[in-house]
Amino acid sequence: MSKNSDEQVTSAVNLIRAEQYKEAIDILEPYLKGNPDSLDAWYNYGCALGAIDRQEEALKAYDEALAIDNMIFEIWFNKAAALYELADFKKAKECYEKALEINPEDAEAWNNLGNSHSKMGNGRAAIEAYTRAVALKPDYAEAFYNKANAHFIEQEDQHAIAYAEVALELNPSLETRLKEWIHVSRARLASAQDQREYDKAKKEKKKFYDSNIRNSDSVD
C-alpha cells in the first residue's frame, strides 16, 4: 500500500471521528475499487455506512473485511450491531457470540448479547449475559437496568427491584424508563406478600377450629 493510500484511509477515519460520514464514504468508495484487499478500508467503510443507517451495505462491507481476517473483535461486534438494527436478532446473537469468542472480557458485547436474547424471548439467557456484563463492569448502569428489566419480564420481582435500584443509583436519568414497569413489580411483590399473610392467617384459623373441635369431642 502506498503512502498516499495510507493517507486516504487515515483521512476517512478522521472524518468518521468527526461524524462526517458521507465525506468518509466519498473517499473510501473509490479507494476500495483500487484496493479491494484493504481490511481497514472495508471496516471503516462499514462503520460510516452504519452510522447513516445504511445497514445492509454496512453488512456487505463487514463481510468483505471478515473475508480478509475473521479474528477481529470489532468487525464481528459492528456486524452484530448492524444486524440488530435490522431486527435480525438471531444473526446478531451469533455475531456477538463470535466477538466474545475473541474477547470474552468486553462488557458491552455481553450486554448487547443479552439484548439479542431478550428480543428473541430467551429470558434466562439474557439474564446470564447481563450478569456477565455487570461482573466485568460494576458501574455499567445500562446493563443493570437491562438485567432488572429481564428479571421483571420473568416475574422475578425481588431481583428486578434490587437491580433497578442499583441502576438508578448509578444513573438517575434512568428513572423515567424505570417508571414504565417498576411499579408493576412492586405491586406484584405486595400482592404476593398479602397472599402469603392471608394463607397464613387462614391456616392458623383452621388450626384453631380443628383444635376446638377436638376439645369439644373430648368433653363429650
Q: Is 56 a member of any domain?
A: yes
The whole-model pTM stands at 0.84
Q: Say how far apart CA 178 and CA 193 lie, in whole Å.
A: 22
Residue 96 lies in a domain: no
Please give the Cα distance from 122 to 90 (Å, whole number): 11
Give the Cα separation of 65 and 59 in Å (integer).
Answer: 10
Residue-wise burial string across 84-115, b where 16 or more C-beta atoms lie within 10 A, e elsewhere: beeebbebbbbbbebbbebeeebbbbbbbbbb
Is 17 within a domain?
yes
Determine, yes or no, domain membership for 166: no
The pLDDT tens digits of the residues spanning 60-76 come to 999 999 999 999 999 99
Q: In the structure, what pLDDT confidence band is assigned to residue 190 with cuts at 50, 70 and 90? A: confident
20 within some domain = yes
Find the CATH number of the domain harbouring 56.
1.25.40.10
Residue 60 lies in a domain: yes
Q: Based on the structure, what is the number of domains in the chain?
A: 1
At residue 193, the pLDDT reads 61
- Does 1 reside within a domain? yes
| CA–CA distance, 111 with 148 (Å, rounded to integer) | 12
* pLDDT confidence band for 205 (50 / 70 / 90): very low
Q: Which domain holds residue 48?
A: 1-69
The pLDDT of residue 103 is 98
| Per-residue confidence band for 6, with pLDDT thresholds at 50, 70 and 90 | confident
How big is the CA angle at 50 (ends 45 and 51), to the nearest 5 degrees? 100
Domain contains 92: no
**Of 214 and 120, more confident:** 120
